[in-house]
Amino acid sequence: MSLRRRERRVIAAAGAAALVAVGLNLAFSAVAAHRRRKRRELPGFTAQVNLSAADIKRLADRVVSKSKETYDAVAAVPLDKVSFSNVIAPLAELDAQQFPLVQACVLPRMVSPSDDVRRASAEAEKRLDSHFQQCRQREDVYRVIKAFTQKGERIGLEATRFVQCMVREFERNGAKLTQSKKTEMEKLKSHIDDLSLKYIQSLNDSTKFLLLNEEDLAGMPLEFLKELENTNGKWKVLLTSYHVTPILEHCKVGSTRKLIAVAYGQKGGKENIAILEKLVQLRHRLARLLGYPNYADYAIEPRMPRTSRKVLEFLEEMSEQLNGLANRELSVLKDLKMKEEGDAQFSVEDLLYYMKRAEELKVDLDIGEIKQFFPVDLVISGILKMFQDLFALRFEEMKDAETWHDTVRLFSVWDASSSDLLGYFFLDIFSREGKYAHTCVVALQNGCLCSNGTRKVPVAVLLSQCPKEFDGNSALLRFPEVVRIFHEFSHVVHHISNRATFSRFSGLQLEGDFAEIPSLLLENWCYENISLKMMSGFHQDITKSITSEACQSLKRRRDIFAGLKLKQEILLCLVDQIIHTGENVNIDDLIKDLHPKCSFFFQVMLGIPLLEGNSPASCFPRIAIGYDAVCYSYIWSEVFAADLFASKFKDDLLNQHAGLRFRNKVLAPGGSKNPLDIISDYLGREPSLQAFIQSRTRNSL
């Protein structure tokens, strides 16, 4: 019997043995029964939508109660009696049954038209987050799971990986710490959260501004100036990205660009530098408390590189490979500045302005005209057709399905060859009051095998804020919005394609680096003629698609000055890694050293001097919160995506054989296998930087 079949048999058998899991199923079924009668039955779909505020509270109560009951039952198993059926299977079944119920509680915060429902959802999310955090710290449950790992029971590869992930998650949350050290850990986390919020609040302060004369803003578009407040004959420029970035891109006056860049760079001031340095110290203390040598190794351990050393090697190689390209690009910018401003030193504040000038000279593209070719309805239908054709899928809209708003659409997803049901997705793409403001994908249900042998299918929700109509017609999308929706729908397909046994290995619960690779790979379709034409059409005559010349210009616009842009990103990533691996690093001194000089055996910013008096460390929000020690991740994912595209798809974008193989080999496993192994097996070798460098070099200038 194969390990995979044995694993499925063990899980099925565990359902009969694990009475807790059975009780859990019955309780959850009772909660949802009255709502199921009101909506069409969807095979494999148990997630609930359109709950009231009272429903959400009751459901959250039951989730907490049944979760505690299951954890208590596992903790009570004698250490000499542990087995897959009484320790691992109940926890796996709990995850499978609870995930869609938890999501039914928390999704309304993002989508419900009702203020009361959104408030109830937000309260439920806080309560559930706190409860699950406590569950992941339970030493009694951790001790039982560890005892099972030492028993040596044969359970199959995916089940083994599931157990390893559980052990790691418990340990990363402090389950093996003494109570006093757990208390210290909680204090550290609380202090870190408070400081991170304080740092971001300082950057979001919209009270800081400069007053500039009209001549100081020469070159700025009239539309931009109209939005500025006029105070005693001067324009009030806020030190926010909404004002600073356009000025750095368009203002012809070098002294104004420098003034703005320095002011923005000092916005957080010495206070934010002190906060960031304190944050780094606290993070190191947290990592060492949990048994890691430094915070970077703690943050990177569950990701693809596994260690900070691997990340530093990657950044070093990337920067070395980019030196030639970035130097050529910088020469172009310096020549432009010489022609426009004379013999003046090229500095950091000049980068965005002269990149924009070069783009205008070298890329023939009218963004306003391009927008005319992307009516939202046509973009969506084109995206759906493209993914169906490429991945051998069939989407069927379910007109009579219950949703949370009348503009939301539900689709079932089928394998085009076997006609097997793969999952469902909701499209909630039109703007409305109270809705989450960004484009993203939320998993409503994970695909997994339940203890009774039935399979829950994946269910995803794509959220966006597209305008619905314009002058009675389908509204038009800016090209970046088209790319964003395409990118996010790739996550939908990744989630729906998942065929893993365990809910834990869903297509949206992967290592952060791996989760973005398929979507970044598929973004390439947004810059190729055949695919762009499938989702475009002139709004007054949809039979007239975007021109091939415009497609080439869009690609060139994406890649122009890729070397310099990546060099700036690498600088940030290096600072992020070094401060989170070293001890008591002076961040300002580190940046001054990395910027113009050779460090780590390679030149980072090609000798461009740092602005005098500037404090970049005071305005690095990603390092302060959200991307601490993992800023490298996006570049890492881009490199893998570029290799996959060049090796498997570039010469035949709609090759269904290649798409189906990608779906089965890369998307279907989810997190059930090591992602490096998944991609290496698919490519037949380890990924390399070459495809990425070549693609950006070819279209850069």
Question: CA 569 → CA 212, 321, 514, 686, distances in Å?
Answer: 30, 14, 19, 24
Contact 84, 159 (CB under 8 A): yes
> What is the CB neighbour count within 10 angstroms for residue 586?
14
DSSP for 302-333?
A: TSSS-SHHHHHHHHHHHHHHHHHHHHHHHHHH
Paired with 445 in beta bridges are: 459
Residue 363: how many other CB atoms lie within 10 Å: 16
First to last CA, the chain: 58
Nearest partner of 605 among 558, 560, 577, 572, judged by Cα: 572
* DSSP secondary structure letter of residue 438: S
In sequence order, the β-bridge partners of residue 409 are 427
Determine the 3-state secondary structure of 399 from DSSP. Answer: coil
Pairwise CA distance, residues 609 & 596, whole Å: 6
Q: Please, what is the Cα angle at 523 between 520 and 529, to 5 degrees?
A: 150
Helices (H) and strands (E) in the chain, counts: 29, 14
What three-state secondary structure class fits 90?
helix
Helix (H, G, I), strand (E, B) or coil at 162: helix
Residue 320 CA, chain-centre distance (Å), reads: 27
- Would you tell me the crossing angle of helices 3-17 and 89-106 to the nearest 10 degrees? 80
Whether the CB-CB separation of 188 and 289 falls below 8 Å is answered with yes
Residue 422 backbone phi and psi in degrees, to 5: -105, -30
Considering 329, 488, 523, 528, which one is annotated as catalytic?
Answer: 488
Strands (E), 561-698: 598-599, 602-603
Helix axes 241-250, 351-362, angle to 10 degrees: 60
**CA 645/CA 348 separation, integer angstroms:** 33
Q: How far apart are CA 105 and CA 485, in angstroms?
A: 25
Q: Alpha-carbon distance 494 to 506, whole Å?
A: 9
Element (H, E) at 697: helix 690-700
* Residue 488 annotated to the active site: yes
CB 205 within 8 A of CB 272: no
Residue burial 42-66, b: 16+ Cβ < 10 Å; e: rest: bebbbbbbbbebebbbebbebbbeb
Q: Is 230 exposed, middle or buried (0-12, 13-18, 19+ CB in 10 A)?
A: exposed
Tell me the CA distances in angstroms from 109 to 101, 129, 404, 406, one per residue in order.
Answer: 14, 14, 12, 17
3-state helix vs strand vs coil in the chain, percent to 5: 60, 10, 30
Rounded distance between C-alpha atoms, residue 457 and residue 497, angstroms: 9
Tell me if 653 sits within 8 A of 530, measured CB to CB: yes
- The residue to which tokens 């050393």 are assigned: 309
Biggest CA pair distance of the chain: 83
Query: Known catalytic residues?
Result: 488
